[in-house]
Amino acid sequence: MSILRRLISMLLPLAIPLIAVAADEATSPLIDKVRTATARFKDINVAVSEGFTARTACVSGPNFGAMGVHLILPVRIFGSVPVLSADQPQALIYEPLPGGAMRLVGVEFIVLKNTWDGKYPGTVPALDGHLLNLVDVPNRYGLPAFYEMHVWAWEQNPVGSFADWNTHVTCEQQPSN
């Protein structure tokens, strides 16, 4: 048996559960809810008209993939009551395309830790059974500690529908200013 065949036979059993998880995520009820709630934001002008503002340039990964350009709705992040609902993401994520166009690829749910802890002390926020991740201070965004979760509702992500970085998203078309 060749080395390649031997390697494949050893790794294939490990890959099958990952493929099953990816298939389950692709049909997640949370993803369906996010798609329904955000379909109108495929046109970035609609997002801007509803108060979403650019918070970041295109965020690329340290080793692979990207997140994209985040447009946030400040009241959902900086309000005194934490908002955590599938139909109310705090950020819309866009991938820059040639000619300055932007393509909606996903959303991010963001809850400031202090706001959450003030309302729900001793708990970790979860959305439809998915725990949010804690991003402590200092962080690259200049925010106080916060919980977050990405949902790649509009672009398939080979590393998972709820992973931070998406290997199918790129910042290559980000205009340089």
Per-residue pLDDT of 88-102, as tens digits, reads 999 999 999 999 999
Per-residue pLDDT of 58-98, as tens digits, reads 988 767 889 999 999 999 999 999 999 999 999 999 999 99
pLDDT tops 90 at residue 20:
no
pLDDT tops 90 at residue 39:
yes
C-alpha 90/C-alpha 22 separation (Å) is 24
- pLDDT category of residue 133 using cuts at 50, 70 and 90: very high
- Say which residues have a Cβ less than 8 Å from residue 142's Cβ, sequence separation at least 6: none
Q: Delimit the domains of the chain by residue range.
A: 3-151
Percent of the chain with pLDDT over 70: 84
| Structure confidence at residue 47 (pLDDT) | 98
C-alpha 121/C-alpha 110 separation (Å) is 17
- Say which residues have a Cβ less than 8 Å from residue 64's Cβ, sequence separation at least 6: 165, 167
160 close to 126: Cβ distance less than 8 angstroms:
no
C-alpha 150/C-alpha 165 separation (Å) is 9
| Structure confidence at residue 115 (pLDDT) | 96
Task: Kindly report the pTM of this predicted structure.
Answer: 0.83
Q: What is the mean pLDDT of residues 138-159?
A: 94
